[in-house]
Amino acid sequence: MKPLFVKESTLGLRLLLAIVLLGVLITADLRYNALQTTRSFMEIAAAPVYWVADLPSRLVDWNETNLVSRDDMQEENERLKRENLVLQGRSHQMASLQAENVRLRALLNSSALLRDDVLVAELIGVSPDPVRHQLVLNKGEMDDVFVGQPLIDADGLLGQIIEVSPINSRALLITDATHSIPVQVNRNGVRAIAEGTGSLGSLEVHHVSATTDIQEGDLLVTSGLGGRFPVGYPVAVVDRIERDPGEPFAQITAVPSAALDRSRHVLLVFTPTADREG
């Protein structure tokens, strides 16, 4: 049996040699970069170990970035729907404003062709009774609006004012069954009476002899008789004529020139010869 101190001496010698060898290698690497190749090889060999060690962290990051809960997806979907609805609403509003600007420009252009003073008014209400064709405007006595005042749009005569309050007024359309207006054929001056039928798209033309020179497509304008409406405002276009040999007068219908069911802004006409009532 070998003594114990001999084994301990051998271990101490090996440790000393290992320390000396390590110091030599470190010195050689620091001064001469002798272990560069070896170090590179070891880094390459250790790369898979590093990748595997970092894998859990990368999996956590990927999960946070790419995996979304059902609730989060539903919330995001609802948010996008709301934003899309808002954008659509704004788009429709812009389209509406653009169309309204076009109508206003047409209205102002028509006012430039008139010899009379005008006031722009806005439609704020209509009669709930389908039989009564009446409008409520945002202009009244404070704006010098008066009963009997003519009302036009960019295309022709709409009607006349029948009631006035300090800040509002009520207008009767030419298509109301109780309304009638003296007209004449713009082509040859033939006079007639255009009466409302209760339908926004039609007028009846009365007191025209069956032998009178009037044709489909003729433009009817205000004749100025009675002093209520100035001469020359477009009223309607003749669209149907029936002549019965046994009847003294022709049956004539006409389509109003004005956009009775679409006008939002209108012109109130101030004429020197207008008969002011009330």
* 3 state DSSP class of 123: strand
pLDDT on residue 228? 84
CA–CA gap between residue 214 and residue 149 (Å, rounded): 29
User: Dihedral sign, CA of 228, 232, 237, 241?
Assistant: positive
- 42 or 7, which is more confident: 42
CATH number of the domain located at residue range(s) 117-270 in this protein:
2.40.10.340
For the beta carbon of residue 220, count every other beta carbon within 10 angstroms.
Answer: 29
pLDDT band for position 8 (50/70/90)?
low
Out of 41-45, 109-113, 117-121, 154-158, pick the least confident: 109-113
pLDDT band for position 202 (50/70/90)?
very high
**What's the mean pLDDT in 18-43?**
66
**What's the mean pLDDT in 87-96?**
57
pLDDT on residue 160? 93
CA–CA gap between residue 173 and residue 252 (Å, rounded): 19
Q: What is the DSSP letter of 235?
A: E
pLDDT band for position 278 (50/70/90)?
very low
| Residue spans per domain, the chain | 4-28+39-65, 117-270
pLDDT band for position 87 (50/70/90)?
low
Q: What is the DSSP letter of 218?
A: P
The pLDDT tens digits of the residues spanning 241-274 come to: 999 888 889 999 999 998 888 878 888 888 765 5
pLDDT band for position 127 (50/70/90)?
confident
Asked if the model's pLDDT at residue 146 lies above 90, the reply is yes
Which of these, 3, 232, 211, 242, lies nearest to 116 by C-alpha position? 232
pTM of the model: 0.60
pLDDT band for position 239 (50/70/90)?
very high
- 16 or 218, which is more confident: 218
pLDDT on residue 5? 47
CA–CA gap between residue 190 and residue 186 (Å, rounded): 8
pLDDT band for position 172 (50/70/90)?
very high
pLDDT on residue 264? 80
Which of these, 117, 118, 137, 168, lies nearest to 264 by C-alpha position? 137
DSSP letters spanning 144-193: T--BT-EEE-SSSEEEEEEEE-SS-EEEEETTSTT-EEEEEETTT--EEE
- Record the tokens describing residue 184, joined without a space: 């004449």
Please name the residues in contact with 272: beta carbons below 8 A apart, sequence gap of 6 or more: 116
pLDDT on residue 173? 94
**What's the mean pLDDT in 188-216?**
91
CB 225 within 8 A of CB 190: no
* 3 state DSSP class of 204: strand
- HSE-up (13 A, CA, CB side) for residue 156: 19
Burial 132-157 (b: 16+ CB within 10 A, else e): ebbbebebbeebebbebbbbbbbbbb
DSSP alpha helices (H): ranges in the chain? 4-32, 36-66, 70-112
Asked if the model's pLDDT at residue 277 lies above 60, the reply is no
- 251 or 71, which is more confident: 251
Please give the mean pLDDT across all residues of the chain. 78
